[in-house]
Structure 1
């Protein structure tokens, strides 16, 4: 398991956050399929800071979708994955900080919280997903036949 953990962990952010953009309050973040988000300056497009969403969720998250959804209030919804012998899909929400009087900033992700987790149907081969669906009452994840073979990752 140590090899698996080290395979997904890096102190140096090497992600190319070029898949999608999203707004959180008064800020814009660039995303990719990792738990790292890049806050950018909307006027200059300069990189402002790297945010590790795992620090806010308090989970060992390995992926985080680049295609989050938002509701009418500007709250975000996203899905991530935890890999291992009991792989899980993780559902999270980030409350719009502009609507929270107690928020320390108008751009932070500190208002991200866990909505729930669901075990992968095959915990050693969780499904790859690029996005997910959402309705007013449900988050919908389609477990596609494309799988991530955890045993091959561990023993490669």
Structure 2
């Protein structure tokens, strides 16, 4: 099955999403997604509908991904690639916000965090978030080690 490679193309070109974010959205290990995208392991059939729904993949693109048809073959020639990508990204972001709305509603700390980082320059925000992402990764590794002891 070609789905993994097709999904990688869709994720990178249309969603402009990193693999780690996609793995977290799918609630799977990032290494597993990497294996699926490199076709080292087949994409599990039970994960396919989750992928379609999570990333709001249009039916024609999803079918092409399953059949291994190049995604450029299903592109509407009347719609420019950047416009289609923006459309897909917007649809995904809307569904992402809807799925995580409750987290923002229940967590004043998260809202405060977002308000603070929204005041930073783009460069400072990127540096700050990357630093925090590294710290969070260490924290999650520590928690996982504690759970196995």
Specify the TM-score bucket, using the shorter chain as the normaliser: under 0.3
Which of the pair has more CA radius of gyration? 2
TM superposition score normalised by structure 1 = 0.27
Larger RCO of the pair (alpha carbons < 8 Å, separation 6+): 2
Instruction: Kindly indicate which of the two structures has a greater share of residues assigned to helix.
Output: 2
